[in-house]
Amino acid sequence: MKYSKQLMAILAMALWLGMAAVAEAQSASEIVAATDKVRNPGQPFRSTLRLTEYVGGQERDHDSLVVYSKEDGATRQFRNLVQYVEPARDTGKRVLLDGHSLWFYDPNSKVSVRISAQQRLIGQAAIGDILTVNLGADYASSIVGTETIDDATRQPRKCWHLELKASNDLATYNRVEYWVEQGSFYPIKGKFYADSGRLLKIVYFRKFAQQLGAVRPTEAIIIDAVDSSLATTATLGEYAYQEIPEAWFQRDYLPHLQAK
Amino acid sequence: MLALLAAAGATVGRADPPTEDKELNLIPPSSETPPADAAPVASGALQRIFLEDAVTGSWLGSDLLPAPPPPPQPRWEERALLDVRSEWRAGDDLRLTYSGRLNLRAEDGLGFPSHENLTNDLREAYLGWEPLNQLFLDVGRINLKSGVALGFNPTDFFKTRAVVEPLSVDPVVLREDRLGTLMLRAERVWAKGSLTAVYAPAVSSDSPIYTSFDLRSFDPMFDRTNAHDRWLLKGIVDVAEGFSPELLAYESQRRVRFGANLAENVGQSVVAYLEWSGGRRGTVSDEALAFGQATGSLPAAAGNVLPGLGAVAFRNQVAAGASYTTALPKITFNLELLYSEAGFTGADWDEWFRTGSATGASSPIAGALWYVRQYAADQQDLISRRFAFLRLDWVDALVPKLEVSGFAETDLVDGSTRLQLGADYYLSDRWTVGGLILIDSGGRHSDFGSLPQAGSVLLKVVRYL
């Protein structure tokens, strides 16, 4: 009996060490690539994004967006076309987010205006951009350590704590802290920083569900770190694979884009 | 054994609980409950419909030289409007677009009730067809706009005479509230560019410049938009990553103008842009006086009122500028230099004021002089040769949901300035309240300083349906 207990303890230790070794064997870039795949399907797709803004904990505004996403084979980054459906004052506005090519189309003025990387962060379309960004393409990553943190539902999750630094000028944020659950590669939490080092946004991912052949987060909570009374929940839905021709990423296509 | 386990698990620690709890506590508890109106996002028709009520009060300049012709500038205006922009799909390939504004208005000097109290601006009504992927054919009244600049668009060839009774003089708003042109448009979009061809037929003839007192109630006013046959060909080519210049060629009344639009990101926060057009044309004075005579607004002798202001020649118009966006606060600035080789020089202004000072208020000469300025405004052309334009848009200004925007336009020929500052507060998804103030300042013998209206204040409330 005593022998058997010792054997069990040794086996448990071996298993623990083995798991730890497997975990350490994953490089930071492999982890980021794997968690990118959890968030983003491997082929062009369309999804909807329902945004609910909270001010001081109270529900304030709603925005609805349709997002068309397609990975650029050269940069491995997702290119997004975003169309506003709600609120009524923004209906029909469209944003093209394709690497350096950033254009905003307003159906009222009927012209496309080129916007800067900084300017794209002002609108709600930036949230669609955050949720589909392939972090592995634009950031150099390293493992800070392994931590158990509470997720958005206050359930403990054993995570890799990753440090991501912008590796090219396509990166929207200068630095990102990222927590990815070990084993599942689910993104659990991210902290996004400005060039100045200031924390801009804290993002929690939750409501993991089967979508387009894999379990993916279907909701993100984006907390404004500058004004912590502001928070937005982004609910992803209506996922569907969709053919997205290259011509859609021309700014002259923006007036013709219409959610079907 | 325990020591080994402890060592093996050394990297498995708990994050700092207070920080973690603090960040989790920022999640709104009510976010667990989905919104009650969480209907599917994608809907068939795209439409924006709103009701707006706006009241404007103006203060007028005094002792103007030359005295402006009647009618006098109204001191107040009250307007209620229903604005509709809608697109409907008929199958996968057909699309119907309508955009219009129904105005119920009363203003100082306008009789009530009269047919001018009720006007309808038919901005757009056209049918679109996509016979092949990314090939678009449109026919009807279409608002076709071009140009990367904000303060003035030399390549926006269909802007002439198209603006109807705007509530704001902000060039960005003027782009929104204008009539389209009856046209046939073909557009092909490829992976590396696009090509657009437009033919706008003449279906009416030139008419005198409208004032706010002689607008027609329910009339598409094709005399403003389709008085001449016009052609436009424009193309965009991806030259390099993110760099895609647009080139244009436009023909009207046997004169061709060429144009170009360039825009490029510079770093993370700046976009630099350049808009140019050039072609044979007269000065704004020559064109105004000729137009006034042709439409019977000015006597035949009016052509001599401002002699020696130049004949038809190749003239350039340029808008060069850059936008700069700050991370916090969220402000975007646009600074532009605007240039028109057809506009007044300092000597032209001197001549305008010298001639005007020597005439009486009821003199036809005074009327002709003011007509030149009315014509430039009607054409959305620059009256002066050089302007500096600064615009700002501030999102979440001081408090969330407050958007502040404004612009300053300075005539670099005489230093006079037009300043407008506005604010919109989004009370909810449906309700917006806002206001703006406009001030024209400058010397008595300056561009903005000599206008009949010295300033105005507008208050509005908007309800989206």
Cβ-based neighbours of B327, under 8 Å, separated by 6 or more: A118, A121, A194, A195, A196, A200, B269
- Taking the Cβ of residue B120 and every Cβ of chain A, the question of whether any pair is shorter than 8 Å is answered with no
Averaged pLDDT score across all residues of chain A: 85
CB proximity A260 to B under 8 Å = yes
Tens digit of each residue's pLDDT (9 = 90 or more) over B93-147: 899 999 999 999 999 988 888 888 999 999 999 999 999 999 999 999 999 999 9
B351-361 per-residue burial string, b: 16 or more CB within 10 A, e: under 16? bbbebbeebee
Judging contacts by C-beta atoms under 8 Å, the chain A residues touching residue B270 are 116
- Tens-digit pLDDT string for chain B (465 aa): 333 333 334 344 444 545 777 888 888 876 776 555 555 555 556 789 999 999 999 999 888 878 888 888 899 999 999 999 999 988 888 999 999 999 999 999 888 888 889 999 999 999 999 999 999 999 999 999 999 999 999 999 999 999 988 899 999 889 888 999 999 999 999 999 999 999 999 999 999 999 888 888 899 999 999 999 999 999 999 988 778 999 999 999 999 999 999 999 998 899 999 999 999 999 999 999 999 999 999 988 776 777 666 689 999 999 999 999 997 788 999 999 999 999 999 999 999 999 988 887 678 888 899 999 999 999 999 999 999 999 999 998 988 889 999 999 999 999 999 999 999 999 988 999 999 999 999 999 999 999 999 999 999 999 999
Task: Say which residues have a Cβ less than 8 Å from residue A25's Cβ, sequence separation at least 6.
Answer: none
Phi-psi region of B457 (alpha: psi -120 to 50; beta: other; left: phi over 0): beta
Residue A2 has pLDDT above 50, yes or no: no
Q: Is A19 on the interface with B (CB under 8 A)?
A: no
Distance CA B236, CA B317 (A): 20
B401, A100: Cβ pair inside 8 Å? no
DSSP string, chain A: -HHHHHHHHHHHHHHHHHHHHHHHHS-HHHHHHHHHHHHS-SS-EEEEEEEEEEETTEEEEEEEEEEEEEE-TTT-PEEEEEEEEESGGGTT-EEEEETTEEEEEETTTTEEEE--HHHHTTSTHHHHHHHH--HHHHEEEEEEEEEEEE-TTS-EEEEEEEEEEE-STT-SSSEEEEEEETTT--EEEEEEE-TTS-EEEEEEEEEEEEETTEEEEEEEEEEESSSTTEEEEEEEEEEEE----GGGGSGGGGGG----
- Residue B450 sits at φ, ψ, to 5 deg, of -105, 10
**Residue B441 exposed, middle or buried by CB count within 10 Å (0-12, 13-18, 19+):** middle
Q: Mind listing the pLDDT tens digit for each residue in A97-130?
A: 888 889 999 998 889 999 998 887 777 667 766 6
Which residues partner with B339 through β-bridges? B318, B386
Instruction: Return the exposure string of A67-77: e unless at least 16 CB atoms fall within 10 Å of the residue's CB, then b.
Output: bbbbbbeebeb
With an 8 Å Cβ cutoff, is B7 touching chain A? no
Nearby residues of A82 by Cβ (< 8 Å), 6 or more positions away: A65, A66, A67, A68, A94, A95, A97, A125, A128, A129
> A144-158: per-residue pLDDT in tens?
999 999 999 999 999
| Confidence at residue B177, expressed as pLDDT on a 0 to 100 scale | 85
Confidence label for A206 from pLDDT (cuts 50, 70 and 90): very high
Is A238–B273 a contact, with Cβ atoms under 8 angstroms apart?
Answer: no
Contacts of B245 (CB under 8 A, 6+ apart): B236, B237, B239, B260, B261, B262
Distance between terminal CA atoms of chain A? 68
- Looking at per-residue pLDDT, the higher value among A85 and B63 belongs to A85
CB atoms within 10 A of CB A149: 21
Whether A1 shows a pLDDT value over 50: the answer reads: no
| Per-residue model confidence (pLDDT) at position A5 | 57
Q: pLDDT tens, B251-260?
A: 999 999 999 9
How many Cα atoms are found within 13 Å in the side-chain-facing hemisphere of A125?
30
ipTM over 0.90? The verdict is no
Contacts of A242 in chain B (CB under 8 A): none
Q: Does B432 touch chain A (CB under 8 A)?
A: yes
Please report the pLDDT score of residue A20 as a whole number.
47
Q: Does B271 touch chain A (CB under 8 A)?
A: yes
Tokens representing residue A103 in the block:
């254009």
| Residue A194 near residue B327 (C-beta atoms within 8 A) | yes
Q: Does B425 touch chain A (CB under 8 A)?
A: no
Q: Quick one: which of B452, B323, B317, B439 has its CA closest to B386?
A: B317
A159: its two tokens: 């995570």
Report the pLDDT value the prediction gives residue B433, as an integer from 0 to 100.
98
Nearest-Cα distance to chain B for A246, in Å, is 5
Q: Which two tokens stand for residue B147?
A: 């140009």
- Which residues 26-45 of chain A have a CB within 8 Å of chain B? none
- Note whether B259 and B247 are within 8 A (CB): yes
- pLDDT tens digits along A243-254: 999 999 999 999
What's the gap in Å between the CA of B39 and the closest CA on chain A?
Answer: 10
**Per-residue pLDDT, B306:** 75
Q: Could you tell me which chain B residue has the CA closest to the CA of A190?
A: B23
